[in-house]
């Protein structure tokens, strides 16, 4: 008898769970227009003030632009650094019939290549990357982070009094490498005598290591620092403590250290998301590779209004931005 | 290479190594107590994360650092109680339940962080505490005696832990329960009681380790510890279940990581070798483990639940 009760209870729970999910998918809107459904899978937290936050902010901006949650439905799975977990989430969203499934992580490429052909009616987007695998329902998007890096490198060289600038990176790949190379190039272009110390800590997430790397750079004489990836919050903390200047990337990092953050390169993914959604609504589900850069407004240098930046350095920065946009300054793309 | 061997660089490398070892040390000493009594707690990383968030949230809301530490310890005690209940009373498979606690801690700390905090704001940790006289010693003073109080506390745990384990009746009970619980039970020692005590103490220390990490870094983030708790468990094996050995392991790990960072900054390790170099702390610790573990064996009752008459 007891066993029967347990079995019935378990079945009831399962039924309730399925019923609940069914309600959500059906939606309260029996309205004529179905909302555009976007799902995103990201490797770190969407409030990491870096990589994953940038795509989330972009999606929220798009949602507002397009009329709010009734017009655009957003689903987020974050913290899936492990590729298997992300692949499961991507496949899940595709199976649930989302219009656009965004795989925001270069490590998700192989998984996407396997999953996309199984769902020809779902549009996928892969970032940061430039390869659409020749599949008709895959978009690719990346950031020319070397451009913003270059601009800030120029300003860093101009601001540095000690003549040493430090860069804290995670692993020398992809977006991180692009940014670091761009920044270093900017420093050298502005002032070849400035020393650039680059430290790839070997981890995207080890905050303690990033903090100690920042200390080591400061010990080597750096009075301006920059870095990329979500572990960088540790380095910013140390910069704040030691009164060293900071340039941020991927998101506006001003609030982490309002006194010493000079500027951040902010990604506005909505610039390319808009285009993707337009194409999807017209029936083209993929095949385009997008790049956000200074010219199309996808990258913006957000100056910290609370930081007292000398006017000539700010002008230097803005001139450099203009130079990159009109092509008179060519930023090296890594090497 | 000569640049590395200057006094300034060596001092900051050692100081940095000590700072890096601190959170490992808290968690590992705590785990030593638990393991010595026969309970393996693989949930250390999750408990560290919950302790870290507890302390961070407390400080962020103006409660102050000391209250933050108390909150972290309390969180650790509660998690320890749950772990002890699962391992000792319910006699669950300890490795698996430990992983379960880890996942729980990882998820809950992130959930609370996202719901209660949202975008991270920085906090200030404990200020540097210079030990009078000793801090003024040349070289050694900067290296060892001008750290924050959490660093000193972690290293103080080593002699305290060693004393408790080796020179007190409590320590004797812990060790006997870990080696031969039947015999201990016959002599009137409460096996369950001792194990509850050690697991809860160990978890409290893990929570404190997480709090130390969060306050030293001045921030919280999803998965802030990035697996430190698991390294801490490995360090217990490395240290042959002795506090001094565990300290040696933590120092090895922290100092190697610090040396690698310094060499990268000075350009002595080229960028092409940077990932290989990042592996070094783990590789060296494994090598040392292989060498060291030949000599010591683990507590006989480790991971084995005890039931009277079973």
pLDDT attached to residue B222? 85
Check B274 against A172: CB less than 8 A apart: yes
Q: Are residues A243 and A188 in the same domain?
A: yes
What pLDDT shows up at residue B199? 96
Task: Determine whether the interchain pair A219/B122 forms a contact, defined as Cβ–Cβ distance below 8 Å.
Answer: no
- Indicate the range of A135-149, A253-267, A320-334, B205-219 predicted with least confidence: A320-334
Mean pLDDT of the region B247-274: 89
One domain, residues A159 and A258: yes
Number of domains forming the structure of chain A: 2
Q: State which residue of chain A sits closest to B24, comparing Cα positions.
A: A208
What is residue A20's predicted lDDT score, i.e. its pLDDT? 43
Task: Give B271's pLDDT tier (boundaries 50, 70, 90).
Answer: confident
Residue A219, in any domain of the structure: yes
Tell whether B112 is within 8 A of chain A (Cβ). no
Q: Which residues of B touch A181 (CB under 8 A)?
A: none
Highest mean pLDDT among A45-49, B202-206, B214-218, B283-287: B202-206
Residue B139: count other Cβ atoms within 10 Å of its Cβ: 12
pLDDT higher than threshold 80 for residue B261: yes
Q: Is B215 helix (H, G, I), strand (E, B) or coil?
A: helix
Per-residue confidence (pLDDT) for residue B278, from 0 to 100:
83
pLDDT per residue as tens digits for the range A198-222: 999 988 888 999 999 999 999 999 9
Q: Which residues contact B37 (CB under 8 A, 6 or more apart)?
A: B174, B175, B177, B178, B194, B195, B197, B198, B199, B299
Give residues with Cβ within 8 angstroms of A177, minimum separation 6.
A169, A334
Q: What is residue A31's predicted lDDT score, i.e. its pLDDT? A: 46
Q: How large a percentage of chain A has pLDDT more than 90?
A: 65
Contact B274 A200 (CB under 8 A): yes
Q: Do A44 and B122 touch (CB under 8 A)?
A: no
For residues A163 and A102, state if they share a domain. no
Based on the domain organization, do A134 and A203 belong to the same domain?
Answer: no
Which residues of A touch chain B, with CB atoms under 8 Å apart? 44-49, 53, 78-79, 166, 171-172, 197-203, 205-209, 211-213, 215-217, 219-220, 230, 233-234, 236-237, 240-241, 255-257
Q: Which position has the higher pLDDT, A50 or A76?
A: A76
Over residues A291-300, the mean pLDDT reads 91
Domain boundaries, position A165: 145-266+305-326
- Report residue A106's pLDDT band, with 50, 70 and 90 as the boundaries: confident
The Cα A107–Cα B22 span in angstroms is 32
pLDDT above 50 (res A6): yes
pLDDT at A330 over 90: no
- Residue A257 and residue A117 share a domain: no
The CA dihedral of B261, A252, A101, A128, to the nearest 10 degrees, is -50
State the average pLDDT for chain A.
Answer: 88
Nearest residue to B177 via CA among B33, B31, B80: B33
A202 to B223: CB separation less than 8 angstroms, yes or no = no
- A124/A211 same-domain check: no
Coil, strand or helix at B228: helix
ipTM of the complex: 0.86
What is the reported pLDDT for A15?
60
DSSP, residue by residue, B286-310: HHHHHHHTTT----TTTT----TT-
Give the domain CATH number at A164. Answer: 3.40.50.2300
Q: Is residue A12 part of a domain?
A: no
Question: Chain A contact for B264, CB < 8 A?
Answer: yes
* Displacement of CA A147 from its chain's centroid (Å): 15
pLDDT above 60: residue A19: no
Are A166 and A204 in a shared domain? yes
Residue A120 domain-assigned (yes or no)? yes
Domain-embedded: residue A15: no
Mean pLDDT within B39-65: 95
Give the residue with greater pLDDT, A235 vs A24. A235
Q: How confident is the model at residue A335 (pLDDT cuts 50, 70, 90)?
A: very low
**pLDDT at position B17 over 60:** yes
Over residues A296-311, the mean pLDDT reads 92
Any idea what the Cα angle at residue B24 is, between residues B21 and B25, rounded to 5°?
A: 80
Are A48 and A138 within one domain? Answer: yes
DSSP string, B135-183: GGSTTHHHHHSEEEHHHHHHHHHHHHHHHHHHHSHHHHHHHHHHH-HHH
Residues A222 and A314 in one domain: yes
B122 in contact with A at a CB cutoff of 8 Å?
yes
pLDDT at residue B303, rounded to an integer? 86
Whether A299 contacts A292, CB under 8 Å: yes
Distance CA B239, CA B29 (A): 10
Above 80 in pLDDT, residue A1?
A: no
In a domain, A192, yes or no: yes
Instruction: Inspect the interface and report whether the beta carbons of B279 and A200 lie closer than 8 Å.
Output: no
Residue B3 has pLDDT above 80, yes or no: no
Q: A233 and A319, same structural domain?
A: yes
- Contact of B16 with chain A, judged by CB distance below 8 Å, is answered with yes
Q: Are residues A194 and A220 in the same domain?
A: yes
Q: Which CATH class is domain B13-292?
A: mainly alpha
| Residue matched to tokens 């384990």 | B165
pLDDT at B288: 74
Residues B235-257 have pLDDT tens digits of 998 888 999 999 999 999 999 99
Q: Tens digits of per-residue pLDDT, A28-45?
A: 444 457 899 999 999 988
Asked whether residue A212 falls in the same domain as residue A134, the answer is no
Is A23 a domain residue?
A: no
Q: Decide if B127 touches A, using CB distance below 8 A.
A: no
């Amino acid at each position: 008898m007891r066993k029967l009760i347990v079995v019935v209870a378990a079945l009831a729970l399962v039924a309730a769970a399925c019923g609940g999910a069914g309600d959500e998918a059906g939606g309260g809107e029996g309205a004529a227009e179905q909302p555009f459904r976007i799902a995103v899978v990201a490797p770190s937290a969407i409030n990491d003030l870096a990589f994953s936050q940038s795509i989330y902010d972009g999606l929220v901006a798009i949602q507002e632009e397009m009329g709010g949650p009734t017009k655009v439905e957003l689903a987020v799975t974050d913290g899936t650094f492990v590729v298997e977990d992300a692949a499961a989430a991507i496949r899940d969203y595709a199976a649930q019939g989302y219009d656009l499934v965004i795989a925001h992580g270069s490590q998700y490429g192989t998984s996407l290549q396997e999953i996309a052909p199984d769902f020809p009616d779902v549009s996928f987007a892969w970032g940061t990357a430039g390869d659409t695998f020749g599949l008709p329902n895959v978009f690719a998007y990346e950031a020319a982070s070397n451009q913003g890096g270059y601009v800030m490198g120029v300003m860093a060289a101009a601001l540095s009094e000690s003549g040493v600038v430090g860069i804290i990176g995670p692993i020398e790949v992809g977006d991180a490498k692009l940014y670091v190379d761009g920044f270093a190039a900017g420093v050298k272009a502005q002032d070849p005598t400035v020393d650039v110390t680059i430290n790839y800590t070997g981890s995207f997430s080890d905050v303690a290591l990033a903090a100690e790397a920042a200390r080591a750079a400061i010990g080597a004489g750096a009075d301006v620092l920059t870095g990329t990836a979500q572990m960088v919050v540790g380095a910013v903390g140390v910069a704040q403590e030691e009164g060293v200047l900071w340039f941020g990337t991927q998101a506006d990092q001003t609030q982490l250290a309002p006194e010493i953050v000079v500027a951040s390169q902010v990604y506005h993914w909505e610039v390319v998301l808009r285009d993707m959604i337009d194409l999807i609504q017209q029936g083209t589900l993929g095949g385009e590779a997008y790049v956000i850069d200074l010219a199309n407004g996808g990258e913006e240098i957000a100056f910290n209004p609370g930081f007292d930046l000398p006017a000539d350095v700010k002008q230097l920065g803005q001139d450099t931005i203009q130079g990159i946009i009109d092509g008179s300054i060519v930023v090296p793309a890594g090497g | 290479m000569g640049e590395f061997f200057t006094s300034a660089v060596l001092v900051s490398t050692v100081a940095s190594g000590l700072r890096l070892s601190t959170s490992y040390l808290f968690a590992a000493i705590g785990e030593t107590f638990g393991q010595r009594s026969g309970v393996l707690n693989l949930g250390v990383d999750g408990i560290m994360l919950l302790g870290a968030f507890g302390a961070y949230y407390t400080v962020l809301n103006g409660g102050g650092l000391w209250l933050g530490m108390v909150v972290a310890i309390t969180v650790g005690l509660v998690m320890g109680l749950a772990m002890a209940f699962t391992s000792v009373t319910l006699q669950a498979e300890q490795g698996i339940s430990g992983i379960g606690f880890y996942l729980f801690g990882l998820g809950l700390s992130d959930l609370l962080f996202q719901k209660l905090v949202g975008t991270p704001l920085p906090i200030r940790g404990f200020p540097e505490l210079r030990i009078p006289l000793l801090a003024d010693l040349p070289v050694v003073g900067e290296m060892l005696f001008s750290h924050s109080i959490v660093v000193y506390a972690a290293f103080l745990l080593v002699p305290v832990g060693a004393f408790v384990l080796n020179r007190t009746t409590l320590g004797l009970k812990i060790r006997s329960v870990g080696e031969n619980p039947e015999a201990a039970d016959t002599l009137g020692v409460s096996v369950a009681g001792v194990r509850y005590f050690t697991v809860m103490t160990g978890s409290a220390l893990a929570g404190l380790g997480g709090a130390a990490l969060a306050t030293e870094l001045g921030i919280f983030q999803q998965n802030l510890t990035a697996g430190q708790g698991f390294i801490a468990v490995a360090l217990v094996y490395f240290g042959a279940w002795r506090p001094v050995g565990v300290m040696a392991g933590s120092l090895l790990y922290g100092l190697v990581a610090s040396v690698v960072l310094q060499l990268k900054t000075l350009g002595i390790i080229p960028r092409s070798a940077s990932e290989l170099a990042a592996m070094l702390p783990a590789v060296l610790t494994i090598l040392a483990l292989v060498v060291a573990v030949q000599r010591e064996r683990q507590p006989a009752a480790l991971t084995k639940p005890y039931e009277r008459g079973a």
